[in-house]
Structure 1
Amino acid sequence: MPQDSTRLSVTTSDSLFVQLKARGLLLAAFVGSIWLVFFLSAALPFLHLNQHGVVPRTLGGLQGILFAPWLHASMMHLVANTGGLLILGWLCTWPRIANFWQATIGAMLGAGLCAWLLGAPYTVHIGARGLVFGYAGYLVARGYYTRHILSMLVALFVAGSYGLTMLFGLMPLYPGLSWQSHLGGSLGGILAARAAARSARLL
Structure 2
Amino acid sequence: MKKENIGQIASDFKTQVVILASFVAIMWIVEIADFVVFRGGLDRFGILPRHEIGLRGILLMPFLHGNFPHLIANTIPFITLGWLVMLRNTLDFWIATVTIVLVGGAGVWLFASPAYHIGASGLIFGYLGFLMLRGIFERSFAGIALSVIVGSAYGSLIWGVLPGRPGVSWEGHLFGFLSGVLAAYFVSRKTKSVL
Interval containing the TM-score (normalised by the shorter chain): over 0.9
Aligned to 1:183: 174
The 5-angstrom pairing of residues 32-181 of structure 1 reads 32-45=25-38, 48-121=41-114, 123-166=115-158, 168-181=159-172
Tell me how far 1:163 sits from its aligned partner: 1.2
For the pair shown, the structure with the greater C-alpha radius of gyration is: 1
Aligned residues: 194
1:200 aligns with 2:191: yes
The equivalent of 1:5 in structure 2 is: none
Given that 2:40 and 2:66 are in contact with CA atoms closer than 8 Å, whether structure 1 keeps it comes out as no
Letter of the 1:59 partner, please give it: E
| Deviation sequence 1:40-80 (CA, Å, 0-9, x none) | 21221168211110001111111111001000010000000
Matches within 5 A, 1:19-30: 19-30=12-23
CA distance in 2, matches of 1:169, 1:46: 28
Note the C-alpha offset of 1:28.
0.7
CA contact (8 A) 1:110 1:186 kept: no
**1:12 Cα deviation (Å)?**
2.7
Q: Which one is further off, 14-23 or 181-190?
A: 14-23
How far is 1:89 from its partner? 0.3
Structure 2 Cα separation of the partners of residues 81 and 36 of structure 1: 15
Contact 2:47 2:56 (8 Å CA) reproduced: yes
**What runs of 5+ residues in structure 2 fail to find an aligned partner?**
none
Match of 1:31 in 2: 24
User: Greater shift after overlay, 156-165 or 131-140?
Assistant: 156-165
Q: Which amino acid aligns with 2:164?
A: L
Question: What is aligned with 1:4?
Answer: none
Structure 1 Cα separation of the partners of residues 70 and 63 of structure 2:
11
- Structure 1 residues not aligned, in runs of 5+: 1-7
Q: Which amino acid aligns with 1:159?
A: G
Deviations 1:131-170 (A, max 9, x none): 000001011111111122221111111111111122x201
CA distance in 2, matches of 1:198, 1:82: 30
Contact 1:50 1:72 in 2 (8 A): yes
Q: Any conservation in 1 of the 2:138–2:192 contact (CA below 8 Å)?
A: no
The answer as to whether partners of 1:110 and 1:181 remain within 8 angstroms in 2 is: no
Amino acid at match of 2:9: L
